[in-house]
Amino acid sequence: MHRSRTQIATVYAPGALFTYEGGMGCCVSIPLSAPARAPSAAVQKQLFDHLQDFIESWFDRAMRARPAPTILPQQCVDNAFLNYKNEPVADPGQFVLCQPSRIGFVPDPLVFVCSECGLLQEFDNTNELKQRWPQVETRKDCTKTTSKKHEWRQVDVVFAHWAGNYAGLSPYRNVMGANGRVDKLKKCPNCNHDEYRLVTKGSPFFSDWRFQCTNCLSAKEVVQADRETLELLKPRMDAGEGNLPKEWNMLPVSYRASSVFYVQKDNFILFRDNDVVSVLAAGRRDDLIARLMDIYNFPGTPLDHQEVIRQLRENGRLAECSEYERLVQILDLIPDALKPDQEKALSEKRAKYEVDGLVARQQTESPLLRAQVEANQDWARKYNPIRLSIEHASLRSEQVERQGSDPTLPAISVTNPDVCNIDKNDSPTRDVYSASVTQRLAQIGLDELVLLRGLEICEFSFGYSRVSSIPATEVKERQMPVRLKAFSHAERNKRPIYLLEQKNEGFYLRLNEARVIQWLQANGINDQLPPRDGMKLGGLLIEQYIDFGRFLEQYRERTADSRALRTIPSYVFMLLHTMAHHFAHAVVEFSGLDHGSIGEYVFPADLAFLVYRKGMTPDLGNLSAMWRNHGITVLDRLLWDRALKCDAGSLCDQRGGACPACIMAPDVACIASNNLLSRAALNGGEPPSWDIDRTQLAGFFRLP
């Protein structure tokens, strides 16, 4: 079999069930050793920081799946993710980084059924299959064929459990005896016979299926207990803890269904600068606060006049120093009635000197900011605006700001005619192009749109879940914790983590802050807007942020009562996320790429986001070619009225939110699993279902 690295790390990762080439049967993937090295120590630290955050978030959400009966840590995450205190931990010593270049597979589940009479045959392992298959294959006791020969096929339905396990559709039951040991009972309780038929009666509903003893014809339900969960919870039920059999009974499901296997993965931008990681450490909180205050222009105590004069003189700015001294002298001589105007003139001079870097601004630390910096250690990394702001600053310095026509530079603005290879001697055409792009960016509400020539992204997969892709699921009216499983051992008793390093083209987009503030105010979010004393919106967003949680439980689309208020953090993220999807749809339409090959990364405090090509195949320049051929058209499409409506009809337009027919993306491509997403953010309309305020939204593209 030949599969791409991305497929091996996701769809065919260890534990996945799939149909072998030509539909010959079902197989399960198993890991093969293919060690990889992280490009730097900083990258490896980033990876395990992200993994630790993922495991902790999953564990916390699973433990809170229900108030009673008590959930155990072993129900939430694999033992590989627990320490000796049963606390969630990503221990690098438990894992090995692997290239997703090789994967093994074996046939499984080993349950076969005769297509004619329904007779079942089960094998414990491939060795038993090899030994017994000649006898099974030559049996001639089929009651439905004239030749009496069975037509064997692999059963394409398995039992799956949210503990991360699966089993073949076996009539043999896992049962716990009085001694506390779990055994598989194979004999019919009525006649002690051990062969069964699968009776489906042509029904597509598993609840109608039955196992029938071939001897006494007694039937029993298609039910199986998950062995691990039975061993864990049956004693608790017997002790009166409130556990019930439905907690360990598995679900029959086709092995082709997505619910049998959800690979768990994450991604991050590769930063070569170790300081990106270290400045976020608890021991450098003062450095982090100072950096955030500088980035977002947190208000400070103005310099007094003598301090401004002193700093100008020390910095060698004698002309500015003399001018400022003269204005201060005038202030002392003029009447009190004229002093406010003179103070304003001095204030404007001082502000200009601060912006130009001629004097250092004195800042007063924000108590709210310090509290948020203290708290951010517990926030979900994926949406943490403090962490993302540091990453954004590094991204700008390493790539976005190093732009120009030279192809060796990592970025080029789309307003630069060289991005379209327009002849340098054709000044009229170059001027028309730049003016057209600049005009459209202003209409859309973008301050920057930059093509990144080689965006470095690291994606990694490390485990999976079954039945549900999130840490909790409802089964038979009871909330169940979904267990996060690590991939099975690859080498030296270590679990593999599949590492994908990509260097592909992408677009960096940054929205106009004044327009975002206008949009927030138009939607009733006026609290503290505009930000005080010249502070940037990102500073206010950080001060007001409350942890979204990795799985956005508060902001998931729902039909039940709404649970969340409109806030600057939630609405800014929704706007940026929706804009990223909207732009990605235009990219897909004109680049020849599919939705699954487009990734996104959102920097909420900086009003910026990335849309990039992801994949391990060679980057053929789809995005740069798309811009050369269709750049103006792409911008026009963003504002095209038809592109802002839903292809599924008026129902989606009227209820707000989003659906797969309009602005949703495949879950593998979406950073937030299609939550905090609403076309109404751009076009206006019904608010998202999580919003307590049911007032109609003003669209970002519809602002006056």
**Domain end call among 77, 97, 117:** 97
- Where are the alpha helices (H) located in 470-621, listed in sequence order? 513-522, 537-544, 568-591
Token digits for 410? 């990592």
Chain Cα centroid distance, residue 251 = 27
Q: Identify whether residues 242 and 334 lie together within a single domain.
A: no
Give CA–CA dist 136/523, Å, rounded.
70
Q: Identify whether residues 93 and 42 lie together within a single domain.
A: yes
Residues sharing a CB contact under 8 Å with residue 448, sequence separation 6 or more, in sequence order: 400, 413, 508, 509, 510, 608
Q: Identify whether residues 198 and 323 lie together within a single domain.
A: no
Q: Identify whether residues 382 and 516 lie together within a single domain.
A: yes
Q: Identify whether residues 282 and 222 lie together within a single domain.
A: no
Query: Cα torsion at 213, 218, 220, 224 (round to 10°)?
Result: -30
- Return the closest-CA partner of residue 658 out of 622, 630, 682, 642: 682
Q: Distances from the Cα of 15 to the Cαs of 338, 436, 462, in angstroms?
A: 79, 52, 11
pLDDT the model gives residue 261: 95
Each as own residue / partner, the long-range contacts of residues 664-670 (CB below 8 Å, 24 or more positions apart, any chain) are 664/581, 665/581, 665/584, 665/595, 665/598, 665/600, 666/595, 666/596, 667/469, 668/10, 668/596, 669/584, 669/595, 669/596, 669/597, 669/598, 669/599, 669/600, 669/614, 670/581, 670/600
**Domain end call among 53, 71, 97:** 97
Q: Identify whether residues 426 and 312 lie together within a single domain.
A: no
Q: Is residue 24 part of a domain?
A: no
pLDDT digits (tens, 9 = 90+) for 341-350: 888 788 888 8
Helix (H, G, I), strand (E, B) or coil at 187: coil
Q: Is residue 496 part of a domain?
A: no
Q: How many domains does one find in the chain?
A: 4
Q: Is residue 479 part of a domain?
A: no
pLDDT the model gives residue 655: 63
Q: Identify whether residues 245 and 352 lie together within a single domain.
A: no
Q: Distances from the Cα of 348 to the Cαs of 313, 483, 609, in angstroms?
A: 19, 59, 33
Give CA–CA dist 193/216, Å, rounded.
8
What letter does residue 489 receive in the DSSP assignment?
P
pLDDT digits (tens, 9 = 90+) for 578-609: 999 999 999 999 988 888 788 899 999 999 99
Residue type, 47: L
pLDDT digits (tens, 9 = 90+) for 15-25: 999 987 766 68
Residue type, 91: D
Q: Is residue 428 part of a domain?
A: yes
Give CA–CA dist 231/248, Å, rounded.
9
Q: Identify whether residues 312 and 170 lie together within a single domain.
A: no
Residues sharing a CB contact under 8 Å with residue 231, sequence separation 6 or more, in sequence order: 176, 182
Q: Is residue 28 part of a domain?
A: no
Token digits for 427? 């000044």
Which of the residues in the chain have pLDDT under 70? 1-2, 22-24, 272-275, 277, 282, 300-302, 361-364, 557-562, 616-618, 647-657, 660-661, 667-668
CA angle 329–332–336, rounded 5-degree value: 140
pLDDT digits (tens, 9 = 90+) for 485-517: 999 988 778 999 999 888 889 999 999 999 999
Q: Identify whether residues 296 and 228 lie together within a single domain.
A: no
Asked if 276 and 282 touch (Cβ cutoff 8 Å), the reply is no
Q: Is residue 465 part of a domain?
A: no
Residue 403, beta-bridge partner list: 411
Q: Is residue 236 part of a domain?
A: yes
pLDDT the model gives residue 653: 62
Domain extent for 285: 275-370
**Domain end call among 214, 231, 260:** 260
Chain Cα centroid distance, residue 185 = 43
pTM of model > 0.85: no
Q: Identify whether residues 444 and 315 lie together within a single domain.
A: no
Burial 191-228 (b: 16+ CB within 10 A, else e): eeeeebbbebeeeeeeeebbbbbbeeeeeeebebbbbb
3-state secondary structure 390-421: HHHHHHHHHHHCCECCCCCCCEEECCCHHHHC
- Return the closest-CA partner of residue 351 out of 589, 534, 205: 534
pLDDT the model gives residue 22: 62
Q: Is residue 486 part of a domain?
A: no
What letter does residue 696 receive in the DSSP assignment?
P
Give CA–CA dist 693/65, Å, rounded.
27
Q: Identify whether residues 623 and 573 lie together within a single domain.
A: yes
Give CA–CA dist 484/464, Å, rounded.
6
Asked if 27 and 108 touch (Cβ cutoff 8 Å), the reply is yes
Give CA–CA dist 227/624, Å, rounded.
53
Q: How many CB atoms lie within 10 A of CB 416?
A: 19
Q: Identify whether residues 635 and 519 lie together within a single domain.
A: yes
pLDDT the model gives residue 649: 59
